[in-house]
Structure 1
Amino acid sequence: MQDQKHLFELPDDIHYLNGAYMSPNLISVRAAGSAAVQRKSNPLNIQESDFFEPAEELKSLFGKLINASAEQIAIIPSASYGLMSAISNVPYKKSQHALIVSEEFPSDHLTLQRWCKEHGAELKILSPPKEKEGRAKIWSEKIINSITEDSAVLVMSSIHWMDGTLFDLQAIGEKCRKTDTTFIVDGTQSVGALPLDVQEFKIDALICAGYKWLMGPYSLGLAYYSEKFNEGKPIEESWMNRGEASDFSTLTKYPEEYSPGAGRYNVGEFSNFITLPMLKAAIEQILDWKPGNIQQYCRELMKPVFTCLKVNEIPTDSQDSIASHLTGIYLPDNVNMDQLMTELKINKVYVSARGRSVRVSPHLYNTSEDIEVFLAIFQKHLK
């Protein structure tokens, strides 16, 4: 696959290797947003059907991306909102505990921490191995071995958001299914750039913010809730999430029946007439590219980085065990992180610092030149 820089509007003189922070807008996404803003200028352009039909189209597209039916998809304003909807409906039995991986994203950790406090349950944190080599395999095995019939819920990201560790989601999901442990996955840092199948991995809830690898706008995301959540309690009671909401003439009958599937978990005003078309345009482009192709393209880009780490004897896991679109490089003790990040920024190379790791996160708008400029500065600081 060739680079797709022509579909973006990034300045030619910057080296943006920071998609894990925020994706740039595709030209098609910006155009969809501009057209949507113009459309809202005249309310007569918005029909009653527009409150529901575009949302169903978006859910269908997301379903194709993760192998789920549109009926089990909900539109959410943020990952934390989607996580709370899922965790609030996890049943608890006396003496059960909850599981989460170490240094998980704050929204995931804090949401599960609240659930534990409300139920008086222990929160068990699953730390990574000290070794960098074999990290993904050893960590996944530790997670699997920690899941028991007393584990009410496991919350984790599909890859580790700080360093890109690829967890064995299939084996983890199978263990959760055997022990009746609710498996909640934050897919924000992988869905759209890495293939993920909720059926194959036996995921009970998958939560995704839309502004990173889904290439969409901020404050809009998507979530999958399996059938086990179909009778759950939503965070809010929006009129739009009721079975007969599309018939505006019957609104004051106050129907008690929710929309089928995961419809009850939609955020109020989910038919956002400006941001929803933008996310739709983004996911259409991702489906055209295919996440597997995106991952392979990034893998080729990142090969020189892993060669550099090997040559300089910097411990790391194998390239097959780290996501190619998000790779955390753990710096040797003699490298000054602040000085490195400052020089990268001066040279218009944009990455993220997460702890003692430099997070490099490329996409199809990047080329080998971006990696070369990054490595030239990085290797200088190793010396």
Structure 2
Amino acid sequence: MFQKTRELFPVKEKGAFLAHCAISPLPRPACRALAEAAEAQMRGGGPGLVPYFGVVEALREAAARLLATRSGNVAFVKNTSEAMGMIANGYPFQPGDQILSYVHEYPANHYPWKLQEKRGVELVLLPDRPMGDGDTGRRPCGWSMEDVRRLTTERTRIIAVSHVQFTSGFAADLKELGAFCKERGIDLVVDAAQSLGALPVRPEEWNIAAVAASGWKWLFGPTGTGLFYTAPEFRRKLAHVLVGAESMVQGDDYLNHTWQPHTSARRFEYSTTPTFLAAALEACLKAAVLPYPADAVAAEIFRLQDRILATIDRDRYRPLLFSGPHRSGILSFITREDPDRIMKEAAQEGVFVSARCGYLRLAPHWCTTDEEVDRAVGVLNALDPA
């Protein structure tokens, strides 16, 4: 089913890539789309790019298929921080309102909410809990629904969490969390940088108000790209934070200063769109994401993880394991050795993994072959211990 070819992913010529939770290698169609758009501008300037001006709408349509929504609910952004900033600074908070988040969130999903303290809003942080199978020491792990219930009050307006924690790989049960928020009239905002493209993300089915994700991890896209979903009723709550010509219905009628912002998610695409990057991300979605159902992708990733777990040296690399809806594309290991050193030495042998916050992270994607997994484990097992 999965086309795990070097033609689609030339990185395979260099080695075994198991770091899709960091920056993924571009598939060949994305590189081609970038080059073609650059060629068009080189040879024709603005007029040469005219055929590419519709590419953002094509990207929105592709992203809408991935998220099972309408294209009008999806915007093209540069990164997760940009999307979260527009939500946090545009939300109609009142003094005394509360935001519930997790103490070890990635900065993109922490600082925008922290900033709201200047508006008299309280940021309440879920404590870290040992949610996985294994002692993490002082390393971050995850949070519990029991703490969510305990810390939610009548003043809680937003719950903002990552679908998958970038350190441990702990995944939130978004279906359960979304149902909880629906019962209490709370807006659920999700950072899906570490899940979109690897796990199913169904915002309309799961009562998620907003989803923000970077494009360069599990979506295989170029850096500087991201996707931003908002539910229509949530979008109507948000004040405008960043505005420009592209925010307005009149578009390039630049001297028409009538206040006519788009009511769709296009309102968040406020200024000159990086056409090259949009074309590349669209190519990634069409060539490497949409051809395979999200459930099938997750199942293949978990199969590859199980293959890793069957042969890796458990005395040297102790896995942090999650079950059911808390499992993700990130397989984190605890080791007595320096994870950064292991990462660097493995790269010298053509095996690419990542290290974060005391964990060694292995993150195969559907494009990873069994042979690449075996090679990676063999290299890790054979590295000289510190």
TM-score past 0.5 threshold: yes
SS at match of 1:253: coil
- Change over 3 Å in CA distance of 1:265–1:338 after alignment to 2: closer
SS at match of 1:30: helix
Equivalent position to 1:253, from 250, 253, 256: 256
Q: Structure 2: where are the runs of 5+ without partners?
A: 136-140
Equivalent position to 1:330, from 330, 334, 353: 334
1:252-309 CA-partner distances (Å, limit 9, x unpaired): 1212111122221113112x33111111111112111232222222111111333357
SS at match of 1:329: strand
Q: Distance in 2 between matches of 1:307 and 1:367?
A: 15
Q: Distance in 2 between matches of 1:218 and 1:210?
A: 7
Q: Distance in 2 between matches of 1:368 and 1:121?
A: 49
Matched, 1:182 2:187: yes
- Kindly state the Cα deviation for residue 93 of structure 1 after the two structures are TM-superposed: 3.5
- Change over 3 Å in CA distance of 1:237–1:128 after alignment to 2: same
Contact conserved, 1:156 with 1:185, CA < 8 A, in 2? yes
Contact conserved, 1:174 with 1:202, CA < 8 A, in 2? yes
| Equivalence map 1:108-187=2 (5 Å) | 108-115=109-116, 117-130=117-130, 132-133=132-133, 139-187=144-192
Match of 2:309 in 1: 306
| Equivalence map 1:1-383=2 (5 Å) | 1-6=1-6, 7-41=8-42, 42-43=44-45, 44-47=47-50, 51=53, 53-115=54-116, 117-130=117-130, 132-133=132-133, 139-227=144-232, 228-230=234-236, 232-245=238-251, 248=252, 250-270=253-273, 272-285=274-287, 286-307=289-310, 312=315, 314=318, 316-331=320-335, 334-379=336-381
1:57-79 CA-partner distances (Å, limit 9, x unpaired): 21111111112211121221221
1:362-383 CA-partner distances (Å, limit 9, x unpaired): 1133222222233234445798
Q: Distance in 2 between matches of 1:296 and 1:370?
A: 18
Q: Distance in 2 between matches of 1:102 and 1:361?
A: 24
- Kindly state the Cα deviation for residue 138 of structure 1 after the two structures are TM-superposed: 6.7
Contact conserved, 1:19 with 1:212, CA < 8 A, in 2? yes
SS at match of 1:10: helix
Contact conserved, 1:20 with 1:189, CA < 8 A, in 2? yes
The alignment's TM-score, normalised by the length of structure 1, stands at 0.88
Q: Distance in 1 between matches of 2:344 and 2:277?
A: 34
Q: Which amino acid aligns with 1:196?
A: V
Q: Distance in 1 between matches of 2:211 and 2:131?
A: 29
Contact conserved, 2:130 with 2:142, CA < 8 A, in 1? no
Contact conserved, 1:9 with 1:26, CA < 8 A, in 2? yes
- Change over 3 Å in CA distance of 1:199–1:152 after alignment to 2: same
Count of aligned pairs between the two proteins:
374
Contact conserved, 1:17 with 1:349, CA < 8 A, in 2? yes
Q: Distance in 1 between matches of 2:93 and 2:224?
A: 31
The alignment's TM-score, normalised by the length of structure 2, stands at 0.88
Q: Distance in 2 between matches of 1:138 and 1:273?
A: 39
Contact conserved, 2:19 with 2:353, CA < 8 A, in 1? yes
Q: Which amino acid aligns with 2:157?
A: A
- Kindly state the Cα deviation for residue 355 of structure 1 after the two structures are TM-superposed: 1.6
Identity percentage over the alignment? 20
SS at match of 1:46: helix
Q: Distance in 2 between matches of 1:380 and 1:97?
A: 50
Q: Distance in 1 between matches of 2:110 and 2:208?
A: 18
- Change over 3 Å in CA distance of 1:303–1:3 after alignment to 2: farther
Q: Which amino acid aligns with 1:129?
A: R
- Change over 3 Å in CA distance of 1:171–1:309 after alignment to 2: farther
- Kindly state the Cα deviation for residue 150 of structure 1 after the two structures are TM-superposed: 1.9
Q: Distance in 2 between matches of 1:143 and 1:127?
A: 10
SS at match of 1:252: coil
Q: Distance in 1 between matches of 2:153 and 2:295?
A: 33
- Change over 3 Å in CA distance of 1:344–1:235 after alignment to 2: same
- Change over 3 Å in CA distance of 1:380–1:150 after alignment to 2: farther
Q: Distance in 2 between matches of 1:319 and 1:3?
A: 28
Q: Distance in 2 between matches of 1:318 and 1:308?
A: 18
Q: Structure 1: where are the runs of 5+ without partners?
A: none
- Kindly state the Cα deviation for residue 349 of structure 1 after the two structures are TM-superposed: 1.4
Q: Distance in 2 between matches of 1:160 and 1:173?
A: 17
SS at match of 2:90: coil
SS at match of 1:206: strand
Q: Distance in 1 between matches of 2:319 and 2:297?
A: 26
Q: Which amino acid aligns with 1:121?
A: V
- Kindly state the Cα deviation for residue 127 of structure 1 after the two structures are TM-superposed: 2.4
Q: Distance in 2 between matches of 1:94 and 1:309?
A: 52
Q: Distance in 1 between matches of 2:338 and 2:268?
A: 46
